[in-house]
């Protein structure tokens, strides 16, 4: 079993592409890929003010509010109210998107993947789950608000710690919420 663990404490805050905030990269493929060359990228973003999102050509995005009251998003002229914590919201990353905070700063869990090159499914779970990594896929697990234990690997993740899996660890158990992101490069 291959499990790579990325601790939250080891992440540096990096300015957004548009300079409007900061992000902390959790994992990216290919490893060390820049903003214009990734197949997929997972991060946490601190949002402290209303404003436009960075545009990413050919990218689909999933935003999950993990701290704060949420955001009112305008995505290509369509309103999306992202006001429920731990619920993933999907939208294209290459259309004009503006966000308005609903009640102060938020932290968003973000998954971006290159359209046509990578298939992606983002889920948030509570309790237990049997994790299966299909051949050719990668699964990224991020503890969002409580300890998460990967059973067979005997790995414990604290808040915002992540594990990247290239094969199945057996089970996952969380006392809070954990994001499970399944990625398959085509």
The answer to whether the beta carbons of residues 70 and 102 sit under 8 Å apart is yes
Tens-place pLDDT, residues 103-115 = 999 999 999 999 9
Tens-place pLDDT, residues 49-96 = 999 998 999 999 999 999 999 999 999 999 999 999 999 999 999 999
Q: Which domains does the chain have, with CATH numbers?
A: 11-114 (2.60.120.10), 118-185 (2.60.120.10)
Token pair of 185 as six digits: 């490069």
């Amino acid at each position: 079993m291959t499990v790579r663990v990325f601790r939250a404490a080891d992440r540096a805050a990096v300015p957004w592409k548009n300079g409007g905030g900061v992000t902390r990269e959790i994992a990216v493929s290919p490893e060390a890929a820049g903003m214009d060359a990734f197949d997929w990228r997972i991060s946490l973003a601190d949002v402290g003010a209303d404003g436009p999102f960075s545009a990413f050509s050919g990218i689909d995005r999933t935003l999950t509010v993990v701290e704060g009251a949420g955001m009112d998003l305008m995505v290509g002229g369509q309103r999306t109210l992202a006001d429920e914590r731990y619920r993933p919201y999907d939208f294209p990353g290459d259309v004009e998107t503006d966000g308005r905070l609903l009640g102060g700063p938020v932290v968003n869990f973000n998954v971006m993947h290159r359209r046509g090159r990578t298939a992606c499914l983002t889920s948030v779970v509570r309790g237990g789950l049997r994790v299966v990594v299909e051949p050719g896929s990668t699964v990224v697990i991020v503890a969002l608000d409580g300890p998460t234990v990967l059973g067979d690997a005997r790995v414990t993740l604290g808040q915002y710690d992540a594990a990247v899996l290239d094969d199945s660890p057996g089970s996952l158990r969380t006392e809070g919420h954990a994001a499970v992101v399944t990625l398959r490069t085509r």
